[in-house]
Structure 1
Amino acid sequence: MSTTVETRSERSAAEVNEEIRALWFRSGGTLSVEQREEYQRLVLEWAAAPQPGEAA
């Protein structure tokens, strides 16, 4: 699995953060291997997403 972010996210950081929160909620606080992979992908997307006050 690649850990590099190739392009900027089309979703805002807030949108990605909401998905991260939902993942943790659904997992009950303990992530499976598959959920950890999804979490890692989401964190990378969040880091590449436009942050509040940042020009897209």
Structure 2
Amino acid sequence: MPSTPPASGRARSAAVVNEEIRRLWPHPAVRLSSEQRARYELLIVEWAAAVRGEIVEAA
């Protein structure tokens, strides 16, 4: 079962989200089901937001 962001509203780190993406899609030659593809798209949005947040935090 895919994990979800903590209930407290705190964002997960980009590294944590990236690891979930890698588990979901271990190799580019593997085709994702429509459910997996939808999850992947949500994870990409979450990952991008985490990266932006980490960049702002670092600045």
Q: What range is the shorter-chain TM-score in?
A: 0.5 to 0.7
Q: For this pair of structures, how many residues does the alignment match? A: 46
Q: 1:29/1:9 Cα in 2 relative to 1: closer, same or farther (>3 Å)?
A: farther
**For 1:1-56, what per-residue CA distance to the aligned partner results, in whole angstroms no more than 9, with x for missing partners?**
xxxxxxx861110110000000012xx721000000000000000000146x6317
Q: Please give the TM-score of this superposition, normalised by the length of structure 2.
A: 0.64
User: TM-score when scaled to structure 1?
Assistant: 0.67
CA RMSD of the aligned region, Å? 2.5
Q: Looking at secondary structure, tell me which structure has more helix per residue.
A: 2
Hey, what does 1:5 align to over in structure 2? none
**Structure 2 counterpart SS, 1:11:** coil
Which structure has more relative contact order (CA 8 Å, sep 6+)? It is: 1
Identity, in percent, stands at: 54
List, as ranges, runs of 4+ consecutive aligned residues in structure 1 with deviation greater than 3 Å.
Answer: none
Conserved in 2, the CA contact under 8 Å of 1:23 and 1:39? yes
